[in-house]
Structure 1
Amino acid sequence: MKISSYQLIVDLKNITQENLQSAENLLQKSDHELNCRMSQESWSTLECFEHLNRYGNFYIPEINQRILSSQTSSKQIFTSGILGNYFAKSMLPNEKVNKMKTFNSMNPIHSQLNKNVIIEFIKQQEQMLELLENAKNIDLNKTKTAISISSLIKLKLGDTFRFVIYHNLRHVQQAKRVLTNL
């Protein structure tokens, strides 16, 4: 995938702002509604957001550190890496829900949660918008980040942003489906 670095950041900011708005709207719901699940094995709305917060706790500091230490300047075109493109595309929500197994450390099922989970997600999305703004000044191709499953694998910053933001989108949509189907 090749795209203007500027356009990629604009697109990712738009998705992040939509995720942020969706989360803010959920603050009007009761803790009881937000903790309901469709089955014993499925996640509640709050568990979807807790899952995202756990990933945010890894990726936001990682991205921030890489941006701060980057010695590169902005490049016009972002070209996705093979692995990064695969990971990012696999996170995009689609018509047919493709379930994925999550790591135990990232699985919040049966946690005791309240709206503070959504408030934390909102803070993380505001941080993500700042990181996207800061990333306008660096090369999204040459700046690399570690990933949560292995410090040995590095992705281009542009692919890391795509992965994290598409992952957020996927689970925000899942959280909305849970409320719709109750």
Structure 2
Amino acid sequence: MKFSTSELLDELKNKTKQHLHFAEILSLKPENDLNFRTSADSWSTLECLEHLNRYGNFYIPEISRSISSANKSPQSYFKPGILGNYFAKSMLPKEKLNTMKTLKTMNPIHSQLNKGVIDIFMKQQENLLELLEEAQYIDLGKVKTSISISKMIKLKLGDTFRFVIYHNARHIEQVKRILTD
């Protein structure tokens, strides 16, 4: 399987713009609603976004470093790696979302959070959009990034973008469910 690089980047930019727009809508809601949880052990809206911010704090600088040190050699097609494709696909939202264990450092449950979390998330989405723009000039398959669970494992940049943005989409869907409960 391979993707047209421009189509993949366009898809990821569109998803990121949707996430940014959704965050703008969230910023209008009362903080009480954003801190509501459906059960004692579930995340609130702000905890979902804080979780995404923690991943963004790792991946955005990592992606930025990889892009800035890459040679300008765009390719028409991107072929996902086996591991990267698996990680990315596992993040895609599904009808019946399977719960996944998160790393302790990435778990924000019972944190005292305010709307500043949304501002950070929106800034990260803007940063992602800038990085996606820059990515059109490099080889998404040749440039590699470390992953948050191990510096030893490297993913192709295209897979890292897919993982991060699909992970965002997954938790945006979670937030939508929280807000309708």
Measured against the shorter chain, the TM-score band is over 0.9
Letter in 2 for 1:103: L
Tell me by how many angstroms 1:172 deviates. 1.0
CA RMSD, Structure 1 to Structure 2 (Å):
0.6
Partner of 1:97: 97
Spell out, residue by residue over 1:119-160, the C-alpha distance to the aligned partner (whole angstroms, 9 max, x if none): 100000000000000000000000000000000000000000
TM-score of the superposed pair, with normalisation by structure 2: 0.99
Partner of 2:172: 172
Cα distance in structure 2, aligned partners of 1:31 and 1:53:
18
Partner of 1:33: 33
SS at match of 1:151: strand
Partner of 1:147: 147
Cα distance in structure 2, aligned partners of 1:72 and 1:168:
28
Partner of 1:2: 2
Partner of 1:135: 135
Cα distance in structure 2, aligned partners of 1:169 and 1:10:
15
Q: Count how many residue pairs are aligned between Structure 1 and Structure 2.
A: 181
Partner of 2:42: 42
Letter in 2 for 1:13: K
Cα distance in structure 1, aligned partners of 2:99 and 2:175:
14
SS at match of 1:161: helix
Partner of 1:84: 84
Letter in 1 for 2:145: T
| Unpaired segments ≥5 residues, structure 2 | none
Percent of residue pairs identical: 65
Cα distance in structure 2, aligned partners of 1:148 and 1:118:
22
Moved over 6 A (4+): none
Cα distance in structure 2, aligned partners of 1:125 and 1:59:
12
Q: Does 1:157 find its partner at 2:157?
A: yes
Partner of 1:125: 125
Cα distance in structure 1, aligned partners of 2:177 and 2:28:
16
SS at match of 1:137: coil
Partner of 1:20: 20
Letter in 2 for 1:20: L
Cα distance in structure 2, aligned partners of 1:56 and 1:25:
20
Of 150-159 and 70-79, deviating more is: 70-79
